[in-house]
């Protein structure tokens, strides 16, 4: 079996669970993954490791304090051996994977949802079709979350490599998110509202449910375009964010192609809409034909008693 490289996904200073899914994806290709953790403090690698991986390598360098694509790619390229590279299909890791691929004169295959030997499948046209490509030689791959099951944690040999890169951009300031809630691109559960919510003030009803579930609040393009109080950062859809959470709850969203493109690959979809013929219902695992005014309070109280 050949060696592969899994680049650990880091979120809030911790190794994100999707990393275990990347290990499974790498093993399913018939390779033995080396798990690489870019970091400024190698203690993050303590206890990290998965069944089936060869080793954990913490790549420690000053450049990893802020995301800077060129220095990250340079440092990781210098530290890790050849092989197929796996990263998570998050905006930052897709960017990094593309840069490392280019650095090694390999191609990048993004948003992979299926691996069959050397054949890789990804959605194209925002999920309106799928595409399978055949690779020869090494490539760099990003893998969508919630597709592969996670490899079991297992204690593994950890090595630390000091390797930084030449930082090309400077972060001069960080504007904190107005809300403490997760961003839709990070959340495993998303509840989104459309123009059917009637007014941006009514999004507080979605926020209450989001807080019970630890979910992010999203919005349709119609809602973002109609109301200035709903920022574009909340927009799920073709010109917003593409998401694939475990659970997506669409409230007062009819299901325009533009919106479906951004969320149709969610594992479970719940739709609440008063129009029984709304296109969203064709994509919903659980559809509720009701006004949000009637359905949300019931949902909120059911969830809050279940979660408490």
Partner 1 sequence: MDNPNGLELEIMPNIVVLVKRVPDTNARIIVSGDRVDLSAVKWVISPYDEFAIETALQHKEAAGGIVTALTLGPSDADKILKDAKAIGVDEIVRLWDDSWSDLDSNAIQTALANAISEIGAEVVYCGKTAADTGAGSTGPGVAEKLGWASVSNITDANFSSGLTVHAPSEKGTAVVSVSGNVVVSCDKGSVKVRKPNVKGIMMAKKAQVILMSVSAPQSTVQLVSQSPPPAKPEGKKFSGGDSAGEVAKLLRDEANVI
Which residues from 101-160 bind partner 1, rule CB under 8 A? Answer: 101-103, 105-111, 119, 122-137, 139
Cα–Cα distance list, 233 to 213, 216, 260, 288, 296 (Å): 20, 11, 17, 27, 23
CB nearer partner 1, residue 23 or residue 288 = 288
Q: Under rule CB under 8 A, which residues in 194-233 are in contact with partner 1?
A: 213, 232-233
CB nearer partner 1, residue 20 or residue 237 = 237
Integer Cα distance of 249 and 215 in angstroms: 10
Give me the least distance between CB of 157 and partner 1, in Å please: 29
Give me the least distance between CB of 238 and partner 1, in Å please: 5
Alpha carbon dihedral 205, 206, 211, 213, in 10-degree steps, equals: 130
Give me the least distance between CB of 178 and partner 1, in Å please: 8
Instruction: Check: CB of residue 222 under 8 Å from CB of residue 249.
Output: no
Regarding 290 and contact with partner 1 (CB under 8 A), the answer is: yes
Give me the least distance between CB of 17 and partner 1, in Å please: 15
Integer Cα distance of 279 and 295 in angstroms: 19
DSSP-derived secondary structure letter, 247: E
Spell out the residues 6+ positions from residue 191 whose beta carbon is closer than 8 angstroms to its own.
Answer: 206, 209, 210, 213, 215, 216, 217, 218, 248, 249, 251
Spell out the residues 6+ positions from residue 305 whose beta carbon is closer than 8 angstroms to its own.
Answer: none
Cα–Cα distance list, 250 to 124, 236, 264 (Å): 23, 11, 11
Q: Under rule CB under 8 A, which residues in 226-255 are in contact with partner 1?
A: 232-233, 235, 238-240, 242, 246-247
Regarding 295 and contact with partner 1 (CB under 8 A), the answer is: yes
Scanning 39-47, 54-62, 176-184, 198-206 for contacts with partner 1 by CB under 8 A, the matching segment is 176-184
Among 168, 199, 229, 275, binds partner 1 (CB under 8 A): 168
Regarding 85 and contact with partner 1 (CB under 8 A), the answer is: no
Integer Cα distance of 238 and 40 in angstroms: 35
Regarding 182 and contact with partner 1 (CB under 8 A), the answer is: no
CB nearer partner 1, residue 24 or residue 185 = 185
> What SS3 state is found at 108?
strand
Q: Under rule CB under 8 A, which residues in 29-68 are in contact with partner 1?
A: 66-68
Regarding 14 and contact with partner 1 (CB under 8 A), the answer is: no
Give me the least distance between CB of 156 and partner 1, in Å please: 26
CB nearer partner 1, residue 110 or residue 163 = 110
Scanning 26-34, 42-50, 196-204, 295-303 for contacts with partner 1 by CB under 8 A, the matching segment is 295-303
């Amino acid at each position: 079996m050949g060696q592969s490289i899994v680049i650990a996904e880091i979120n809030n200073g911790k190794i994100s669970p999707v990393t275990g899914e990347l290990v499974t994806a790498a093993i399913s290709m018939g390779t033995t993954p080396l798990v690489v953790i870019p970091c400024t403090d190698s203690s993050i690698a303590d206890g990290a490791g998965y069944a089936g991986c060869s080793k954990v390598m913490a790549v420690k360098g000053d450049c990893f304090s802020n995301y800077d694509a060129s220095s990250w790619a340079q440092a990781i390229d210098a530290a890790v051996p050849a092989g197929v590279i796996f990263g998570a299909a998050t905006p930052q890791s897709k960017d990094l994977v593309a840069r490392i691929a280019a650095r090694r004169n390999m191609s990048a295959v993004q948003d992979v949802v299926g691996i069959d030997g050397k054949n890789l499948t990804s959605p194209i046209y925002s999920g309106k079709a799928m595409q399978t490509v055949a690779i020869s030689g090494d490539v760099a791959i990003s893998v969508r979350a919630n597709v592969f099951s996670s490899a079991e944690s297992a204690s593994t040999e950890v090595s630390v490599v000091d390797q930084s890169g030449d930082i090309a951009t400077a972060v001069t300031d960080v504007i904190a998110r107005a809300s403490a809630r997760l961003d839709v691109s990070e959340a495993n559960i998303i509840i989104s509202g459309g123009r059917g919510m009637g007014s941006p003030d009514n999004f507080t009803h979605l926020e209450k449910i989001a807080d019970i579930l630890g979910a992010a609040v999203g919005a349709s393009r119609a809602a973002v375009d109609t109301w200035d109080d709903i920022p574009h950062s909340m927009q799920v859809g073709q010109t917003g964010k593409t998401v694939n959470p475990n659970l997506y709850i669409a409230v007062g969203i009819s299901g325009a192609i533009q919106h479906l493109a951004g969320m149709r690959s969610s594992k479970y979809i719940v739709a609440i809409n008063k129009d029984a013929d709304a296109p969203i219902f064709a994509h919903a695992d659980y559809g509720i034909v009701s006004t949000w005014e009637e359905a949300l309070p019931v949902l909120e109280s059911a969830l809050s008693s279940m979660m408490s």
